[in-house]
Every structure is written in C-alpha cells, then in structure tokens.
Amino acid sequence: MSAAGDDDELEAIRQKKMAELQKVAAERQALSAITQPVHLTDSNFSSETARYPLLLVDFWAPWCGPCRMVAPVIDQLAKEYAGKVVFGKVNVDENPVISNTFGIASIPTMMVFKGGKVVDVMIGAMPKGQIEMKLKQHLGSSGSSSSSIYG
C-alpha cells in the first residue's frame, strides 16, 4: 500500500473517531440541559427509561402529603445532578398501567433505572441526603461534579 493510501486510511479513522466524540459531547450537553423532572406516562415510560443511562423515577399523586414533601427535593436534585442523573415523575392516578406493572402499592416510591432496568427502590418520603446516598452508589463514584453518567 502506498503512503497516500495509508494517509487516507488514517484520515478516515480520525474522521470516524471525531464523529463518535462529537456524538458523545452532544449527548452530554443534551442531558446537562435536563434540569427539571421529565413527565412520564403509560405511553412514554418504556422509551424514556431506555433513553437515559441513569434515571430516578418518582411515583406520586397530588393528594399524597409525603409526595408533596418529596417533590421540592426531587426538583432540587434534578438541578444538582443535571448531566449525571435524569429525574422523572409518574402520577399514579393518571398512569395506572405503569403503576400496576411495577406493583406500586405505597407512595411516594422512587425507582432507580440503569440502562432501562430497575436497580433500586425507595419507598416512602426520604430526606435529600438519603436519596443522594442511593444515587451515588449507582453513579459509581462520590457523585462529585466531575463524574458523569458516561463514566
């Protein structure tokens, strides 16, 4: 193979690698922009849980006092963990299919999904520190600002 052929092959490899890096950067930027819990429903739940590498889902209802206590904590964590964890909310009254699928019998219930699969469940109102402790276990690090969902 000629030197020109080697140069062309190297350039093709560089271009492919650059495209991969740009895609990862775009995904990180998109996830960093999610600073509010996403609204999850019976119809979008499967696609949304598969979409995010690490997702905490809060199953709640508007009439539930403890759920209303947890809501501002979830909102705050969504801002603090933007780019690392995506937060979602499911109103159990409006979305009975998904609530029944996961056997939600007590609210608030929070489930952590990693790669679309449930990896942790928290039942009842919990303080921010306890929720963060669980999240940090699944982030695989101290949860510092330098860590991300991409490792």
Q: What residues are labeled active site?
A: 64, 67
Q: Kindly state the greatest CA–CA separation across the chain.
A: 73
In this structure, what DSSP letter does residue 37 have? P
Q: Tell me the CB-side half-sphere exposure of residue 12, using CA atoms within 13 A.
A: 6
Report d(CA 31, CA 81) in Å as an integer: 10
Q: Which residue has the tokens 């403890």?
A: 66
